[in-house]
Structure 1
Amino acid sequence: MDIQEIRESLQNSKALLQKIQADLLWRQPQRVTEFPQTNLSDHPLTRGAPAYTNIISACESFLDNHGDNYLGMGYLEKNHADIFYKVILEVVDWNINSPVTLLDFGCGTSHLYEYIIENNLAKNIHYSGLDILEKSLNISKSKFPHNQYYCLDILEGEANLPEFDYIIMNAVFTAKFSLSFEEMKSYFEILVAQVFNFCKKGIAFNVFCPHTQECYSDILFYLPFDELGAFLAKKVSKNFTIRNDYNLEAYTVYVYK
């Protein structure tokens, strides 16, 4: 092998190493290092002010700054919100003859219910909403006084909540804000497992996909498919579907009994 061949071999090896490094970075969400790395499993959620209150505060700020509209719910475009609503509602089996009971977990100001009405789905759904923000629920109640609304933290003590056929958690896990990845993942796992106990048929939620991103945001929550599947199969249910076919960077998951 002459000098030129050695140089070409070294260049090829260097290019391969760079490709592998880039691929690893592409597959792993960027982690926020300036925030505490406390794991929520070591931080009882019912003691003091848990880390997830940062998410609640951020949602309250959205509502205060933008009002009762898609921006106030954290969406940049209304059509994106409508796509989220359409896809996440497909957890429901529409082939049954009787209406289903549905809990909109983290309902905010009931924009999902507005979508249900606009698309003539209300006759098939007995809708209820739950949120931890009282000001959001007050807006919901003023718009839809006939609906049942719950203002509670399901992770704090005994939750006085009935069972529902389906529970939808739309955009509950898409942003972690100031939480670390480890904090947000622990919060996600604890909450999903707890909420699943209150459904009769299934739940649905969405998170951002690290495998389809060109760039990352420090405030969003990216969860790899393999980590999600391992958690669901071990702790919740092996009966689940992952939807990543609607041209947005978040994927939707249906988990069934």
Structure 2
Amino acid sequence: MSLSTSDYRQITTCTESYFDRLGDSPLGMGWPNLPDAQTRYDVMLGVRRNPAEPIRLLDFGCGTGHLYSHIQRTAINGIDYHGIDLSSKFISTARERHPEADFRCADVLNDPAALGTYDYAVINGVFTSKCEMSFESMFGFVQDILRLLFSRVRCGMAFNAMSKQVDWERDDLFHLPMDELAWFLCRNLSRHFVIRNDYGLYEYTTYVYQDGISQP
């Protein structure tokens, strides 16, 4: 399926509208509250197989750098952080808040050279809202991003999407069936993945790894 830039830029436009109305906060990034946002940060960072090992981390769709703030606030050591977002507005704010960190504005589907090589990538909130995109267009975008980012990580990546196991679905959110995702991963990326549905929100997070766990 051919995907135009204007399709996936809807996601940025929607989130920027929250930011303009609600400011630089979890609500301004489209999340309902701070505790749930902090839970997501911890779940994303849970993709690391060895938390004691220093890593180079890509925060794709980093917004204004809230994950980096969480890492600093909770004194998590050993993370060489790099943030990328499509929104120049968000990146400008992130740089003002954290001038010491690496934040870049890039459309990686049109400019893959903007990406480096990382140990892990996390994609928090980019795949939860589809705005006015069709399911097919959104899933095409998800697949393109996952293929690209997985080719740039040495160890693995984490991403979330809305669950189908809910009382009702919102038309503007991206409710991705787990079996459909699993088939895509197995056929295109890796059979080594974990789906986490254990943290109490109406979404799930998937960890995808380059290699399986080494057995003793």
- Give the TM-score normalised by the residue count of structure 2: 0.93
Residue in structure 2 matched with residue 250 of structure 1 by the alignment: 203
Q: Which residues of 2 match residues 62-211 of structure 1 at below 5 A?
A: 62-97=18-53, 99-121=54-76, 123-211=77-165
Q: CA shift at 1:95, angstroms?
A: 4.4
> Once the two structures are aligned, what percentage of the paired residues are identical?
38
Letter matched to residue 184 of structure 2: F
Letter matched to residue 84 of structure 2: L
Give distance in 2, aligned partners of 1:84 and 1:227.
23
Give distance in 2, aligned partners of 1:201 and 1:242.
16
Does the CA contact (< 8 Å) of 1:153 and 1:159 recur in 2? no
Does the CA contact (< 8 Å) of 1:170 and 1:205 recur in 2? yes
Larger Rg: 1
Q: CA shift at 1:135, angstroms?
A: 1.1
Q: CA shift at 1:148, angstroms?
A: 1.1
- Classify the secondary structure of the residue corresponding to 1:146: coil
Give the 3 Å change call, closer, same or farther, for CA 157–126 of structure 1 in structure 2: closer
Letter matched to residue 214 of structure 1: D
Give distance in 2, aligned partners of 1:161 and 1:228.
24
- Give every structure 1 segment of 4 or more consecutive aligned residues whose post-TM-superposition deviation is greater than 6 Å: none
Q: Deviations over 1:103-149 (max 9, x none)?
A: 1100000111111112111x221111101111111111111111112
Letter matched to residue 115 of structure 1: H
Give distance in 1, aligned partners of 2:70 and 2:114.
27
Q: CA shift at 1:194, angstroms?
A: 0.9
Q: Which residues of 2 match residues 225-240 of structure 1 at below 5 A?
A: 225-240=178-193
- Give the TM-score normalised by the residue count of structure 1: 0.79
Letter matched to residue 237 of structure 1: S
Size of the alignment, in residue pairs? 210
Does the CA contact (< 8 Å) of 1:152 and 1:159 recur in 2? no
Measured on the aligned residues, the alpha-carbon RMSD in Å equals 1.2
Gaps of 5+ in 1: 1-40
- Classify the secondary structure of the residue corresponding to 2:7: coil
Larger relative helix fraction:
1
- Classify the secondary structure of the residue corresponding to 1:80: helix
Q: CA shift at 1:158, angstroms?
A: 3.8
1:223 corresponds to 2:213: no
Gaps of 5+ in 2: 211-216
Does the CA contact (< 8 Å) of 2:52 and 2:78 recur in 1? no
Letter matched to residue 136 of structure 2: E
Does the CA contact (< 8 Å) of 1:59 and 1:74 recur in 2? yes
